[in-house]
Copies of this chain bind each other. A is one copy, B any other.
Amino acid sequence: MTRALGVDVGGTAARWVLLDGDREVARGAAPGATGHPSAAARARLAESLRLIRGALPAAPDAAGFGITGAGIPPDPALTPILAELLGLPETALWIANDIVLAWHGAFPQGGPGHLISSGTGSVGVAITAKGPVVVGGRGTLIDDAGSGAWLALRALDLVLRDVDEGRAETPLHHAFAARIGSLERGAVTAAIYGGERGEVARLAPAVAEAAAAGDARARDLLTRAGEELARLVRALDACAGPAPVALIGGALALHPAIGAAFDAALPGHTITRPGIDAAATAARRALTLTQTRTP
């Protein structure tokens, strides 16, 4: 039997699992990293992988990776780096972007399938015979509608217009003021521009809290988030043909209105919300690779 390591490398944590065939041998987490080509990012990736290698109870024969920011197709420079860090031949490695890995987790038998993910950002991907098709996912400034960051930014825009125009406060104001500390100019700009990239999305629960307190505009934004995610499905339908849809991501847990609006906007589509074990999926991809190469 072949031992396979699977690693889901995200910005805040790298989660790993070691499989021996179908059996899970060990599981853990290391500091996050990305596939970005900068020297600092490469150093973080190496440190994370060294910690994982040190925690393994036995050396793997193969390894699979889903790495945020690795690119579609993944940066080929990652292959020799990861091979050396794990002491494995390059042919024993399966490397993908985190969203491509999630697609394999959602469609373990292969496609056709459309994966929609809504977390800090939002993105849609279909892996077809011609290769991956990606829609959305270009980041908070120009894209990512329906994501946690999008929800927080759209809601804050409404709240700050009210503040400037001296309008009465609503549950949406109170929910943001409670999370930020106040709606005063300096406090708001520090909360939005002072922190890490994912900081903005951490304010998204304020929208769900306001909706739960009866705020109609907050509720409407959650509905619009689901409709925006449904738009990604229609874009994939147009580019890659209709297919079963899998909806995943942390933003869905904010409020059931997001998923309900998504379903309502896609009549006639087959929709699932799979729970994905990304690290185990990566390990299984690596096993498949080994089996394919073995006669």
* A239-B135 in contact (CB<8A): no
A142 — which chain B residues lie within 8 A by C-beta?
153, 156-157, 160, 188, 192
Number of copies: 2
CB contacts under 8 Å to B, within A198-246, are: 200, 231-232, 234-235, 238-239
A169 contacts chain B at the CB level, 8 A cutoff: no
Chain B min CB distance to A44 (Å): 19
A185 — which chain B residues lie within 8 A by C-beta?
134, 138
Chain B min CB distance to A210 (Å): 16
Chain B min CB distance to A78 (Å): 16
* B143-A160 in contact (CB<8A): yes
A188 — which chain B residues lie within 8 A by C-beta?
138, 142
* B134-A166 in contact (CB<8A): no
A136 — which chain B residues lie within 8 A by C-beta?
164
A77 — which chain B residues lie within 8 A by C-beta?
none
CB contacts under 8 Å to B, within A148-178, are: 153, 156-157, 160-161, 164-166
* A239-B153 in contact (CB<8A): no
A128 contacts chain B at the CB level, 8 A cutoff: no
CB contacts under 8 Å to B, within A113-155, are: 134-136, 138-143, 153
State in angstroms the CA–CA spacing of A182 and B161 once bound together.
35
* B164-A235 in contact (CB<8A): yes
* A157-B143 in contact (CB<8A): yes
A272 contacts chain B at the CB level, 8 A cutoff: no
A12 contacts chain B at the CB level, 8 A cutoff: no
State in angstroms the CA–CA spacing of A157 and B145 once bound together.
10
A91 — which chain B residues lie within 8 A by C-beta?
none
Please provide the 7 A-B residue pairs with the shortest distance between their CB atoms, ordered closest to farther: A135-B164, A164-B235, A165-B235, A142-B156, A166-B238, A138-B189, A141-B192
